[in-house]
Every structure is written in C-alpha cells, then in structure tokens.
Chains A and B, each alone.
Chain A
Amino acid sequence: MANKAPATGAAQIKSLERLCRAVGVSGGEGEVRQIILDEIRSSVDEVKVDALGNILATKKGRGAKPLRVMLDAHMDEVGFMLVADDGEGLYRFKIIGGIDPRNLAGKQVVVGREHRPGVIGAKPIHLTTADERRKAVAEEVLRIDLGPESKIKVGERGTFAPNFQRVDPSLMSKSLDNRLGVSILIELLRANYPNIDLCAAFTVQEEIGLRGARVAAQFFQPDLAIVMDATPANDLPMQFEGDNVFYNTRLGLGPAIYVSNSSTLDDPRLVHFMQQVAQKAGIPFQIRQPGGGGTDAGGIQRAGAGVPVVSVSVPHRYTHSAMSVARIADWKNTLALLHGAIRQITPALLK
C-alpha cells in the first residue's frame, strides 16, 4: 500500500482544478466520481460504488479491533435541471440545491454530459425600466439559452461554466463547495493510518438533503465520523454602519471547526480534540459561528444507533454562486489539521 504524506503542491492544485472543472450536480455525480475513483484506487484496500452512487473506500488498520473512523466529503454541487423546452434552444429550468435567484441572470452555464455551453439570458439595460432594475428576476422568468442546434433534453442537468483560476494567494472557481473537501479526502487517503479502520465516503446528494451520507454511514456503522466541507465566509466589511458580527467564517484564519448548525450538534469531545491538535501543531483555526446551515454530519449523526461527528470546513466567499474564492493557505491548513487529527485518534477519545 502506498504511504505518502499528504501534499498540497502544484500536482494537487492541478487535481483540484480537474475536480472543479467537472460537472456533478446532485443526482448526476458520475463525472466527479470517475475522477475520484482514478485518483484513489491505488491508495485504498477496498472500494465500491453503492446503490445511490456514493464511493465507499476502506483502509484497514492494524490490531484486533481498531476504531472505525468515517471520513466524508460530498461530491455533488448545486446547479439546474431543464424542465421544459420552449423551442429555439431556450429552456426553462429549476434550481437544484440552494442558489440565490439573484445570482442567475447573465451567467455562463454548461449543460449535459458534453458540457454544452449556454447562458442564462438577461434583458439588456437599454430595455429595462428603473423599476424593473430594482427587483430581482425570478427563476421562473429566466431561460437557459443553448442555441437552436441544441440536442439537450428536458431532465438533463447543468451548472455554472467551469472557470477555475489560481490567483495567489487565492483559488477561484465554481463548485469549490465541495471540491475543496473532495481534494482533501483524496490526499488524506494517500497516507496510512495503522491506528484506525479508515472508512472514506465521497457522497452524493448532499446539497438536496444529506441523502448520500445517511446511507453511507448506515453501511459503515462507524465509531465516529469527520466531515470535510466548504463553508461560507461572509467576512466583508459592513456596507453601512457597525461591525460585521455575522460572518460565519473569515478567509485566511484557517480551517473552520464546527460546534453547531441546524442539522448537527458536533460532539464536544471531537470539537475539543480538533482544537487541541491544531494548537499543538501550530495550525491556525477558527470556530465556525454557530447558526444555520448543515453538512453531511447531520445525516451521519442520526444513522443507525448514532455516530459522534465533527465537521471541519475550508472557508470560501460567494458560496453557491458562479465564482467562489478561497485562500490556498486555508485549504492547506485544513488538510494538515485533518491529517494530524486522524493519525492521533485513539479509542480513549470516546471514553
């Protein structure tokens, strides 16, 4: 079995770029799944794709009954599904997952397996009234324009057009949520962890209700689970007055450790452990502000007879839009924190 320390060099950024350029809207994760399978096959003992399309991989630990530790990253991303063909290559669509309709008009998109380029058309400013410009354009009024030669069928999925860029010290792309987490889990699998049975799940359908994670956890029945995801950083200064006290996370402050959101109360033992590992290794970290939102941890925590969970996310700005921004350092530090934590896990953690 290969045993390499996880890295975050040019090769890993190249791999992250490939993941970000792939299209994997919830329920149609095949393209992302294929990239991951190719990347991890040589670093795991067993790998299978389950009935829902989750990738479930294991790396066995040593000893009689090592702790079963589930690592989870969702593969899917938000996007659209075409729901009606209006002719001339114009399609009505529905949002899959959470996208603010105000982020739609004027965006480039790709649709279908062949990534057919298109645009969500916007009425030009020349022809709009001042009153129209004050209101958001509703999803129902917008059309995806794929051109009259389009062979795309109703029911196919699409998302914002691939646009990955490295602009030091940042990465910019669609679907950083959650290809950042996927790339971290791929890298983590390259190393060996004799202290645990590692159960890795690259899950489907997180964006529409944590569905893949739930069945993945039911399959693995782990002793504990760690979820890696990407979380919003709403850290811009306030536009008018006062301090911004609802930022969720802030760019550049390191991995965001969760304590609570709408779907999960993270296990206090695991939250404490993550902070200790970071402090000992001198890795910067932040506590994600308790509040709304959810990760696969919500599905895992309640699977079977229950699983203690914690989430750790890479902060990024402009989540679920055509272009998000993350700091390379935050991504690296998240990988470093998780690698350190997984190597140090012992059964005493749950005592």
Chain B
Amino acid sequence: MKQLIQKLTDTFSPSGYENAIRDVIRAEIKGFADELRVDALGNLIARRGRGGRRVMVAAHMDEIGLMATHVDDRGFVRFTGIGGVYPRNLPGGRVRFVNGTRGVIGLDGGVSGNDLPPLEKMFIDAGASSKDDCPIQTGDVAAFERPFLDFGNRLVAKSMDDRIGCAVAIEALRALKSTPNEVYFVFTTQEEVGTRGAQTSAYGIDPEFGFSIDVTGWGDTPGQRDFDIALGKGPAIKIRDGGMLSDPRIVDWMTAAAEKNKIPYQREVLLGGTTDARAMQLVRGGIPVGCVSIPCRYVHSPSEMVDYGDVQNAVKLVLALLRPAVKLQLAGA
C-alpha cells in the first residue's frame, strides 16, 4: 500500500486540474468496479454492487496549489492560492506547474526575517530572466513539490490531504469483492475550494446515506491543545467539524463496526474545517452523512504526516462498514 500512497502523492493535481490524478486512480481501480464513469465536473465514480442500500463514499483527489496572476518584465511570477494555502509554509518552497515547469518561492526585498508576509509579497522564480523567456503565463496552475518520505510507521508527503483518503478508498474497493450494498466510491474534484465536486456528484448519484474519507488535524505535538486526536491510535470517527454534524445513526454504525471488528478508533470533535460530507449532507432533500478521518500532522503544508497503522485500520473500518448488508434505519425513525 505504501507504493500506492507514494504514487498518489507524487502526482500533481490542484483543484480544477484533476486530470493527472484521475488517470492514475482510474488505472489503479480498473477491473475492480462494476461501473466506472466521469461526471460533468470531473468526479470519478466507481460503483460496486447493485440493488442494495445506496451508499456514497467520497475521497477528494484534488490538492491545494498556486495560480499565477502576473509575470513581470524580469520574469518573476506573482501568484494567488488555490484552497487553504498558509503563507508561513511557502518561502523557500518549490512548486511544479501542471505544464512541468518548476520554480522556487522567493520573498520581496525589505521583508524582515520576523515578518509573516502575505502572498502578495512573494513570487515564483522559474529561472527566467525576462517575461519573454518565462514559461509561465497568467492563469497557470502549480502544486507544491516535496519528495515522499517513509519513516516505517510514519509517512510524509505533500497532498496526503487527501491522497491518503483516495488510497484508503482504492484499497477498500479492491478488497470489496462482493457487497450486498450498492456502493459508490467517488473520487471528487474541487474539495479544497469548497467541496464542489462532492455536491454535484451526490446530486447525480442520489445516495441514501454516505461518508467521506479525509484527513483531520492532530493534537499530539508541542503546543497543540484541545483536540483529542493522535497519530497511531486508529482512524477517527467524526462526530462534528466546523461545517457538519455527523448523523448520530452514522456515528453509531461506525463505532459498532469498529468495536465488533476490534479496530482501534478515536472520536473526533473538530472545531474548524470540514470535508466533502458537508456538501453531501445538504444535497436534494438531505442525506445522513459521517466521515472516516485519518489523523494527519501539518495539514496544508508540503510535509503532511500520517501513521501507517491508522491508514491500514481505516481500510479495515471501511470494509467492516461496507461488507455486510447495512441495516441503518434512516427514514421515519
């Protein structure tokens, strides 16, 4: 599975430009889905099973990135963020544009070492010496570049958010040889800019219920407080986040499956942030949702860290949820 994780995180696909990662995922799941299609916003939808309870499982395949706004006469590229880009993580970093061009992020002169400058005071230097020989144009899109690291138990890469969720979904789909349920694994687009792909794919699929698989934050490094999530203690079952209250029936379904199968898990109460489940919940007449979270340190930095045991247990949990016929009482309960 580590190889799969590396392959997914090595791919450059910021929001709206998911072609490359979609091709990678499609190749990985080919032959494992009963039906495979791409919808109008580029979501990759893989169905497994037919005729049972209709459940949607969403993992977003986009990642945060940058977009060029202006190239000056000396060939320096001004940029803006795609998704939640923190200025403090940028200076000295490297980026790779969708067209393959690489660049380093520099700071305007006059910014003191103690300042936290805004994106407007930064530029990308792609090695050009003038506007004419700069291979970047306004509107070109880039993602962060940072090699994958394997510490044994801990894995580090850019775009663990949410390629790790994609990896869990891929492994679960491959292992789900048959299911009495009608399961839609959706690899969604444009999550980082507002859970857009999940909204439209959920509308198209019209599931009875669903959940997302995404990263969550962490509370186990120096100075982190008030968040009971640690790496290595299992996947987290989301109770709430900044944009969604999980349906209590979904939470019960998840915790019961974890306990029955002796899968370690943590209960997640996240105050900020949200996932694709928020968009799914509000589609059409409303859909009961929850989320299987993978604890991840340094989210939205170029070095996001997860625990390999948590990842494997997340796969087990997803399979424990989807293998038996789901007996959730949803309507008129």
B-contacting residues of A (Cβ < 8 Å)? 223, 243, 245-246, 259-260, 265-268, 271, 287, 289-291, 301-302, 304-308, 350
B137 and A287 within 8 A (CB): yes
19 A-B contacts, Cβ less than 8 Å apart?
Answer: A243-B72, A260-B139, A265-B16, A265-B190, A265-B193, A265-B196, A289-B70, A289-B138, A290-B138, A291-B80, A301-B196, A302-B196, A302-B199, A302-B200, A304-B200, A305-B39, A305-B203, A306-B40, A306-B200
Q: Could you tell me the distance between the alpha carbons of A305 and B283 in the complex, rounded to whole angstroms?
A: 10
* Choice from A245, A246, A291, A305 contacting B200 with Cβ under 8 Å: A305
A306 and B82 within 8 A (CB): no
Q: Could you tell me the distance between the alpha carbons of A308 and B190 in the complex, rounded to whole angstroms?
A: 12
Q: Could you tell me the distance between the alpha carbons of A267 and B190 in the complex, rounded to whole angstroms?
A: 11
List residues of chain A with CB within 8 A of the CB of B139. Answer: 259-260, 271, 287, 290
Q: Which chain A residue shows the least CB distance to B69?
A: A289
Q: A259, A265, A291, A301: which has the most chain B beta carbons within 10 Å?
A: A265
Q: Is B9 an interface residue (CB 8 A)?
A: no
A306 and B72 within 8 A (CB): no
B331 to chain A minimum Cβ distance, whole angstroms, is: 23
Q: Could you tell me the distance between the alpha carbons of A301 and B196 in the complex, rounded to whole angstroms?
A: 8
Q: Is B253 an interface residue (CB 8 A)?
A: no
A268 and B67 within 8 A (CB): no
Q: Could you tell me the distance between the alpha carbons of A115 and B63 in the complex, rounded to whole angstroms?
A: 51
B16 to chain A minimum Cβ distance, whole angstroms, is: 3
B80 and A223 within 8 A (CB): no
A178 to chain B minimum Cβ distance, whole angstroms, is: 22
A306 and B69 within 8 A (CB): no
B78 and A306 within 8 A (CB): no
List residues of chain A with CB within 8 A of the CB of B15. Answer: 265
CB interface residues, B 200-221, toward A, < 8 Å:
200-201, 203-204
Q: Could you tell me the distance between the alpha carbons of A290 and B41 in the complex, rounded to whole angstroms?
A: 20
A306 and B80 within 8 A (CB): no
Q: Which chain B residue shows the least CB distance to A271?
A: B139
Q: How many B residues touch the partner, as a band?
A: 20 to 34
| Known contacts A305-B40, A305-B201; is-contact A290 B190 (Cβ 8 Å) | no
A245 and B69 within 8 A (CB): yes
Q: Could you tell me the distance between the alpha carbons of A268 and B39 in the complex, rounded to whole angstroms?
A: 15
A123 to chain B minimum Cβ distance, whole angstroms, is: 36
Given contacts A290-B68, A290-B80, 20 further A-B contacts (CB under 8 A): A223-B40, A245-B69, A259-B139, A265-B15, A265-B82, A265-B190, A266-B16, A268-B17, A290-B67, A290-B69, A301-B196, A301-B200, A305-B39, A305-B40, A305-B203, A306-B201, A306-B203, A306-B204, A307-B41, A308-B41
Q: B41, B197, B203: which has the most chain A beta carbons within 10 Å?
A: B41
| Known contacts A305-B201, A305-B203, A306-B204; is-contact A260 B67 (Cβ 8 Å) | yes
Q: Is B132 an interface residue (CB 8 A)?
A: no
Q: Is B120 an interface residue (CB 8 A)?
A: yes
A306 and B41 within 8 A (CB): yes
Q: Could you tell me the distance between the alpha carbons of A350 and B197 in the complex, rounded to whole angstroms?
A: 17
Q: Could you tell me the distance between the alpha carbons of A260 and B43 in the complex, rounded to whole angstroms?
A: 19
Q: A301, A306, A350: which has the most chain B beta carbons within 10 Å?
A: A306
B108 to chain A minimum Cβ distance, whole angstroms, is: 10
Q: Which chain A residue shows the least CB distance to B79?
A: A290
Q: Could you tell me the distance between the alpha carbons of A245 and B193 in the complex, rounded to whole angstroms?
A: 24
B39 and A306 within 8 A (CB): yes
Q: Which chain B residue shows the least CB distance to A292?
A: B80
List residues of chain B with CB within 8 A of the CB of A304. Answer: 200, 203-204
Q: Which chain A residue shows the least CB distance to B190?
A: A265
A245 and B17 within 8 A (CB): no
Q: Which chain A residue shows the least CB distance to B43?
A: A306
* Choice from B19, B137, B138, B204 contacting A305 with Cβ under 8 Å: B204
List residues of chain B with CB within 8 A of the CB of A266. Answer: 16
Q: Which chain B residue shows the least CB distance to A265?
A: B16
Q: Could you tell me the distance between the alpha carbons of A287 and B120 in the complex, rounded to whole angstroms?
A: 19
A67 to chain B minimum Cβ distance, whole angstroms, is: 12
B16 and A268 within 8 A (CB): yes
Q: Could you tell me the distance between the alpha carbons of A266 and B16 in the complex, rounded to whole angstroms?
A: 8
Q: Which chain A residue shows the least CB distance to B78?
A: A245
List residues of chain A with CB within 8 A of the CB of B137. Answer: 287
Q: B19, B40, B80: which has the most chain A beta carbons within 10 Å?
A: B40
B201 to chain A minimum Cβ distance, whole angstroms, is: 7
